């Protein structure tokens, strides 16, 4: 049975950020993720906006760590080699009631320490966004707001943590937790582990994990949100993240430019009982279209290439705030629960808070002299110049074979992902690391090629290749002539 100082349960952006932070210290750390890959829960089901911090109520835990986390992203992007853009945010006002609400958010932002916030007039916002609705009269402008690809950030955190000694273990759903005199014993479907401390970052299932340790300090319920992806060549593309005035439970339906050149529209907000309910629903899709057209009336819905949904983890009866604390009933068990929006922005600061909670709980935390803050640069063929591409192909002809035409992804990049630090072993794992299948055809022309590459590199029959989780096999057998279906 492997023993660790700390075991983190959950491999979303919160869990991986904690792993990255703890890898800076002389600690033995493992991260257990129930799924087949990192970042496949709430992390992959959102728009990637790094909210600057004007929204949380001053004095709340969200307010205390949102700005700190958001400010860390530009440096983290340099160190960990993930994409980031700085489009800023317009929170749009259409009437006098909106003006009052925006003044309220401006006051929140100033109290929370957000830099350079201002309320700007119609002429200024329309000069920057000429396709914006003429009904928009003013906006709260947050110029420091950035956008990232959330699962790319989670993968970057995890890979750097692994390079610095953290064990990142996927396919390890925890089924039992036993408190011992010196810590805990955790049982998964594959193995047993012992540790001195547990950090529960299990997203929508954080309360279920806590119950395994005999803890019933909160109840969680997911908030479902639909999102739309628009093709890169859509007209009237927003250059700025644009939200309407926020409601009590959601920031509203926004138009979001992405780091890869697409536009996202999202998201709806509906409380659900089912923690696995990530289906799209027609009313939600229509609500997205209606909400987006309020912002950009000429939005071309023919350019929608995909819809998806996510579930935000909400701790009930907790003022819509994060729940980050050591358990009051089981010492050494640390909660990082209810990490809904602004969870992406807050993740680096949450990690530092967890570090401090572990220190206060008695864990000896000493800096690691050989910590390497830099993540190895990955090869992105489409971003190279012609001479660099030619040189790469000479060294490895696999980089000369284009697999995904929409995103110009090569066989060499896919093989790199399969054999990476955190290996991609599913079709969606390849998609998240390389963008193969994320273009206009959504895998229509490249999916079968990627399946063949996965089959070859993993030494598995094609019918055993998964879309994502266990049971999501893409092929089910052969037809006449032996061709797989």
Closest CA to 151 of 247, 67, 83: 83
The yes-or-no answer on residue 335 being catalytic is no
**Could you give the 3-state DSSP secondary structure of residue 106?**
helix
d(CA 5, CA 162): 16
Residue 60 has which token pair? 């709340």
Strands of the sheet containing 146-148, edge to edge, are: 49-50, 146-148, 84-85
How do 184-188 and 118-121 pair as beta strands?
unpaired
> Distance between terminal CA atoms of the chain?
42
Which residue has 């279209």 as its token pair?
Answer: 289
For 315, list phi and psi in degrees, rounded to 5. Answer: -85, 120
Question: Whole-angstrom Cα distance, residue 157 to residue 20?
Answer: 5
Rounded to the nearest 10 degrees, what angle do helices 150-163 and 13-22 cross at? 30
Q: CA 155, CA 82: separation in Å to the nearest integer? A: 9
Structure tokens belonging to residue 371:
């910590």
* Buried-state track 298-314, b at ≥16 Cβ within 10 A, e below 16: ebeeebbbebbbbbbbb
The neighbour count for residue 400, using CB atoms within 10 Å, is 15
Which secondary structure element, helix H or strand E, spans residue 2, and what is its range? strand 2-9
Tokens of 36: 């087949």
Active-site residue among 20, 51, 205, 335?
Answer: 51
Cα–Cα distance between 137 and 68 in angstroms, integer? 31
Q: Active-site residue numbers?
A: 51
């Amino acid at each position: 049975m492997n023993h660790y100082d700390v075991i983190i349960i959950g491999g979303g952006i919160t869990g991986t950020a904690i792993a990255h932070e703890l890898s800076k210290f002389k600690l033995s750390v493992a991260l257990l993720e129930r799924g087949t890959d990192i970042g496949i829960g709430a992390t992959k089901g959102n728009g990637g906006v790094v909210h600057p911090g004007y929204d949380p109520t001053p004095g709340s835990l969200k307010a205390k760590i949102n700005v700190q986390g958001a400010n860390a992203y530009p440096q983290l992007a340099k160190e960990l080699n993930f994409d980031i853009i700085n489009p800023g945010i317009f929170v749009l006002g259409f009437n006098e009631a909106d003006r009052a609400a925006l003044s309220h958010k401006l006051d929140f932002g100033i109290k929370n320490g957000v830099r350079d916030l201002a309320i700007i007039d119609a002429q200024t916002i329309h000069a920057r966004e000429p396709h914006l609705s003429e009904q928009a009269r003013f906006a709260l402008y947050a110029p420091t707001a950035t956008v990232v690809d959330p699962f790319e950030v989670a993968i970057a955190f995890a890979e750097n943590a692994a390079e610095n000694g953290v064990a990142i273990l996927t396919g390890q759903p925890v089924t039992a937790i036993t408190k011992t005199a010196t810590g805990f014993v955790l049982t998964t479907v594959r193995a047993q582990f012992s540790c001195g401390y547990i950090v529960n970052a299990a997203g929508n299932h954080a309360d279920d994990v806590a119950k395994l340790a005999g803890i019933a300090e909160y109840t969680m319920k997911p908030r479902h949100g639909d999102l739309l992806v628009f093709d890169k060549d859509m007209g009237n593309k927003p250059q700025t993240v644009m939200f309407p005035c926020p409601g009590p439970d959601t920031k509203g339906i926004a138009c979001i430019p992405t780091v890869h050149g697409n536009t996202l529209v999202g998201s709806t907000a509906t409380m659900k009982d089912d923690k696995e309910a990530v289906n799209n629903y027609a009313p939600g899709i229509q609500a997205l279209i209606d909400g987006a057209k309020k912002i950009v009336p000429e939005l071309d819905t023919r350019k929608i290439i995909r819809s998806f949904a996510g579930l935000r983890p909400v701790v009930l009866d907790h003022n819509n705030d994060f729940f980050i604390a050591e358990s009051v009933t089981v010492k050494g068990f640390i909660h990082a629960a209810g990490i809904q929006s602004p969870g992406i922005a807050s993740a680096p600061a949450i990690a530092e808070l967890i570090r401090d909670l572990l220190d206060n709980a008695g864990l000896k935390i000493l800096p690691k002299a050989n910590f390497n803050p830099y993540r190895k640069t990955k090869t992105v063929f489409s971003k190279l110049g012609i001479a660099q591409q030619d040189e790469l192909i000479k060294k490895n002809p696999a980089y000369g074979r284009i697999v995904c035409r929409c995103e110009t992804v090569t066989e060499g990049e896919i093989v790199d992902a399969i054999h990476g630090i955190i290996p991609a072993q599913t079709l969606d794992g390849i998609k998240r690391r390389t963008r193969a299948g994320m273009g206009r055809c959504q895998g229509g022309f490249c999916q079968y090629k990627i399946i063949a590459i996965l089959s070859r590199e993993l030494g598995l029959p094609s019918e055993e290749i998964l879309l994502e989780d266990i049971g999501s096999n893409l092929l089910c057998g052969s037809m006449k002539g032996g061709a797989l279906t």
